[in-house]
Amino acid sequence: MNLANISSKEIMPGYHGKLIHGDKISWAFWTVEKGAEVPEHHHHHEQIMHVVKGDFEFTLGNETKVYKAGDVVVIPSNTPHSGKAITSCELMDVFSPVREEYR
């Protein structure tokens, strides 16, 4: 499998993802348009976000920070979070268990 051969899906406005699913995890490679936002939400999935490129403002619980290339954020299950692309970004997310709605 090669990422170049995986079709991108626009999961929400400005968030284009290439998604890979195993039995217990989902791995998402996002290309995010500048200004695109993810409204506050939470889910039962544990999530780890990695900023590959760009500046991404992210709120986890009550703490907001701007994350840059190389930064990693661990998002516990059921913790409110939201985000906004300050610049165009490339992000990676890993979810456990599988994000069935992303299949």
Q: Where are the alpha helices (DSSP H) in 1-103?
A: none
97 closest CA partner among 56, 18, 44: 44
What are 79's two structure tokens?
């913790």
Residue 1 lies in a domain: no
The pLDDT averaged over each successive group of 10 residues in the chain (103 residues) is 92 96 97 97 97 98 97 97 98 96 85
Q: In this predicted structure, what is the pLDDT of residue 101?
A: 86
Q: What pLDDT score does 1 carry? A: 86
71 token code pair: 């930064």
pLDDT (0 to 100) of residue 102: 87
In a domain, 2, yes or no: no
Residue 79's CATH number? 2.60.120.10
Residue with tokens 């890979």: 20
CA 50 to chain CA centroid, nearest Å = 8
Cβ partners under 8 Å of residue 100, min gap 6:
none
Considering its fold, how many domains does the chain have in total? 1
Q: Angle 9-87-74 (CA atoms, 0-180°, nearest 5)?
A: 70
The answer to whether residue 84 sits within a structural domain is yes
39 in any annotated domain:
yes
Q: Is residue 3 part of a domain?
A: no
Does residue 16 form part of some domain? yes
Residue 57 lies in a domain: yes
> If you search the block for the tokens 């906004």, which residue do you land on?
84
In a domain, 67, yes or no: yes
Domain housing 86: 8-102
